[in-house]
Each structure stands twice: as structure tokens, then as C-alpha cells.
Amino acid sequence: MILVNENTRVVVQGITGREGGFHAERCMAYGTQIVAGVTPGRGGTLWQDKVPVFDTMEQAVRETGANCSLIFVPAPFATDAILEAVDAGIGVIACITEGIPVQESVKVYSYLKDKRVHLIGPNCPGLISPGARCKVGIMPGDIHRPGTIGVVSRSGTLTYEAVAQLTEAGLGQSTCVGIGGDPVTGTDFVDILKLFNKDPDTEGVVLIGEIGGAKEQEAARYIKRSFKKPVVALVVGATAPPGKRMGHAGAIITGVSGRAEEKIRALREAGATIVPSPGEIGVTMKRALRR
């Protein structure tokens, strides 16, 4: 498994809000160690009568030893929440918030360049390591099973679909990471593939891409050059018209590289097995492992 495990100590930024509280409760029920919450002005209180709430990330980390942040802060304040987590020394940050302006994400991305931190998102479902019972995000925990297949995806709902198919096929997951669907995100396909490549608990990887940008081509170059494990890839959006946003802010074709067929071609030439349709993720992974 990568990024999160049984020793991960999570602080939820925005824990007293409706969404933050709702998903924090489900993360705890799954087994995640939620050790703190942060809501400015609510410091000194207890969430659910058990989790201490702090005014700042610096206080939360100092008092609880938190090493991972889960962010449910509204978009106008999410950038500051990410930067505050970074400055507090958090190593893994999952920002679920959507609607953050691209120029704000660019500022965050630039700030992170020389920092030892993994930012998952924004506009993502988070990440989960089923074997460690650690869920940092909004994914449904009950569909996951411990195992050796890593999942990395730009799409939240397709991540869940992939996981459900893998579980049904008897293939558990090591870690599943939703990197987010915005044009600019912190951690990309290559970052996650590098971690899976080194991870002894991961035997193969499902990669789910979509139209827009060139992240899948970057992943293909890394797979061809350095990745040592089977990769099964699905790229969606083949029928999307150029210039029209399709769901995610990053899912818009602005050039040849953004088209699904170009991404599929690059991944196939890199040695990845292409999933013929979204309903065949599990069976395709099972076949790839037999080769």
C-alpha cells in the first residue's frame, strides 16, 4: 500500500461543516484514525464528543501528531487551507473541494514544488488502503477489499466502478487514489505510478483516464521507460466533441493530445492493456495478471 496505512493520523479541515462531518464520521467507522479537526473559531470544542477541534493546523499537528489532512473547506478558502496544511508539516493532503479556480491551483502547485508533500486533488474522492482500514475521502468503503491491485484515476465514479469490478473478480486493492479531474492537480499519474512501482504490496495497476490535457501521455512515457508491473488502462470520452467541457474542469479537448484516441494509442504503445469498455475493467485486469 502507498501513502496511507494503519499509522496514518488524520486531521479534517472543515470537520464541523455538513460535508466534513458527514464524511469524517464514515471514515472513522471504516477504521481511519481521525485525531483532530480544524475550524477557525471553534477551537477548544469536541466534535462528536471525542475529536478535538483546533483553530489552526499548526495547533492540531503539534497537539495530536497528525500527518495527513482531509479538506472539506469551501472553494473560496480551500487554497489557504492547503497552504496551511503544508506549512504545518502535513505529508499527505487530500482536498475534496471542487470549484477552486485554476489560477489558485497553479499557485498551490508552484508552492509545492520544493516541498515533500503529496497533494491529492483538488476535486477528488481521496484515497483508501483497504488492508489498513484507512479511508481518507468520500469513496464507499464497503466495495473495497484488501489485495494487490493499485488503482489511480481522474474520475471518482469510475474509480468506484473499477473497484467494484475488481472486488467481484476476486481482486482486492492495495491502495486506490483519485487524483482529481481539474486541469491542475497536485499529484499526477506519474507520481502515483512511481509509488506503486516501488510498493511490494502492489502486483498490478488499473489506470483510468479521460479526455483533456496530457496526463495520460505522461503516464505512458513513464510506463514504457520504467514501470515493471502490468497496467490496465481505460480512457473515457471518445465521443466528446472538441472544445466542450464534459463533466470535469479538466475534461475538455483543446488539442490533439487531449483526445481519447491519442491517449489510448500512447498507453497501448507503452505496453498497457487497454480496457475495451467500462464494464470490462475487472476481467481485463484478471487476464493481464495471467500473462
144 given a catalytic annotation: no
Strand duo 51-54 + 68-71: pairing:
unpaired
Q: How many CA atoms lie within 13 A of 115 on its CB side?
A: 22
Given 23, 118, 144, 248, the catalytic residue: 248
Active site (catalytic) residues? 248
